[in-house]
């Protein structure tokens, strides 16, 4: 059994795109940490995730039946251009784009500070 990868390791086949884009563990931990703090502040109550061939999406809702208050997209195809992370507002407007997740989540972090202080 020599030459086999360790159990649980994901293999990428050269020249073949992945079936879907997902969040890495560290990215998801950061996103869910922010979500938990927004829930504790009473701003959000529900979330949804969608994984497609070209992007992964995390959306946060004030109420379950509402449109998302915030939508975060990860599009690896844009990594070399404008950055693979995009933060959308409640009405679909682009709030922030970038290469680093922390920088893209900064507007939501600032809003959380205002909610907690106010």
β-partners of residue 96 are: 87
Q: What value does the mean pLDDT take over residues 31-41?
A: 94
Q: Is 0.85 topped by the overall pTM?
A: no
Higher pLDDT, 116 or 69: 69
Residue 61 to residue 40: CA distance in whole angstroms: 14
Question: What is the per-residue pLDDT for 82?
Answer: 87
Question: What is the per-residue pLDDT for 3?
Answer: 63
pLDDT higher than 90, residue 116:
no
Q: What is the DSSP string of 88-112?
A: E-TTS-EEEEES-HHHHHHHHHHHH
Supply the Cα-derived Rg of the chain in whole angstroms: 17
Q: What value does the mean pLDDT take over residues 7-27?
A: 74
pLDDT higher than 70, residue 1:
no
Give, for 46, the enclosing helix (H) or strand (E): strand 46-51
pLDDT range class, residue 67, cuts 50, 70, 90: confident
Surface-to-core class of residue 71, CB atoms within 10 Å of its CB (0-12 exposed, 13-18 middle, 19+ buried): buried
């Amino acid at each position: 059994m020599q030459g086999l990868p360790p159990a649980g390791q994901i293999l990428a086949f050269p020249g073949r795109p992945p079936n879907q884009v997902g969040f890495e563990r560290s990215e998801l931990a950061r996103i869910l940490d922010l979500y938990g703090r927004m829930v504790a502040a009473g701003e959000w109550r529900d979330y949804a995730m969608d994984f497609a061939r070209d992007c992964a999406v995390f959306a946060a809702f004030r109420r379950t039946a509402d449109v998302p208050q915030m939508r975060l997209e990860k599009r690896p195809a844009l990594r070399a251009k404008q950055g693979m992370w995009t933060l959308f507002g409640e009405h679909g407007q682009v709030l922030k784009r970038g290469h680093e997740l922390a920088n893209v989540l900064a507007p939501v972090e600032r809003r959380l500070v205002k909610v907690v202080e106010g």
